[in-house]
Amino acid sequence: MLKVKKAYQACEEVIQLHSRTFHKAFSLLPDEKRQAVWAIYAFCRTVDDLVDEGVQPEKDIARFKGEFEQFLAGNYDREHFMWTALADVFNRYPMNQQAFHDMIRGQEMDLTVSRYETMEELLDYCYHVASTVGLMLLPVLAPEKTERLRDDAIYLGLAMQITNILRDVGEDLGRDRIYLPAECMKRYGLTEEMLKAETVNPSFILVWEHLAKEAEELYKKALQSIDEYPVYSRTPVKGALYLYRAILSAIRRNHYQVFGKKHSISLKEKKQILAQL
């Protein structure tokens, strides 16, 4: 049987590889809670990769759903680091099972939907793939205040996912996915042909800024209850928010060039942001 400590270490390697921003922010947590975050992230990353990187994503996601149901029943591969670590998390904290189910549903949406007509449709998708992460984390980060913080955790997830979308326009085009709402594109005169030409023109900037302002308003809403978090998790959550929000500024500084380049915050910038918390 894989020991829990080694399982958590493997989960941390996953987050270090895929999200240095989250790793930097949540490294500020106490050991036990930090490890729980690594395990939850590993779950989310695993199901995301099944859709984006899998050879047979429909079959893979169906198999994973079955494995998760078995996990909830106490039956899981005890040699698999993610399930082993996650089992320890579920034993320690009153986890929100529905959030995990909703996350899987969100990844399934990427198998059948590649365009979004309205902002409401996009926000529903963002809830499923990102706000669910906040709901998974709340029992770890603020076990006494999960209901009080629920709405603002959802807002933070929405803001972060919109930020992802604005950062990954070019990468998503490579998968024939356009998350910019069609009604918004039409409003500012941006066509799919323009997007596929990978040209940063005035129409693209207007659409990009429209969504960026939505994200920035959601970040503001998420900050409303930041003082409700326990002291040990307040700074990590605030840090994750500030680090992620800074991606929007980085893209602006680089003249909205999100085609062929994935923007991130430098280590120096991260340290400066976290030092101000």
Q: How far apart are CA 32 and CA 255, in angstroms?
A: 41
Which residue in 130, 155, 153, 133 sits closest to 229, CA to CA? Answer: 153
> What's the whole-number mean pLDDT along residues 40-63?
91
Residue 20 confidence (pLDDT) above 90: no
Task: Choose the weakest-confidence range: 142-156, 170-184, 249-263.
Answer: 249-263
Q: Is 230 helix (H, G, I), strand (E, B) or coil?
A: coil
Give 242's pLDDT tier (boundaries 50, 70, 90).
very high
Least confident of 100-109, 242-251, 253-262: 253-262
Rounded to whole angstroms, the Cα distance separating 57 from 3 reads 30
In the predicted model, what is the mean pLDDT of residues 139-145? Answer: 96
CA neighbours within 13 Å on the CB side: how many for 9? 5
Residue range of the domain that includes 270: 4-275
- Total domain count, the chain: 1
Residue 143 to residues 28, 119, 242, Cα–Cα distance (Å):
18, 32, 23
| Mean per-residue pLDDT, 215-228 | 96
**CA atoms 111, 113, 114, 120: torsion sign:** negative
User: Which of the pair, 69 or 264, is modelled with greater confidence?
Assistant: 69
CATH number of the domain where residue 253 is located: 1.10.600.10
Query: pLDDT-based confidence at 23, cuts 50/70/90?
Result: confident
For residue 188, pLDDT beyond 70? yes
Beta bridge partners of residue 72, listed in sequence order: none
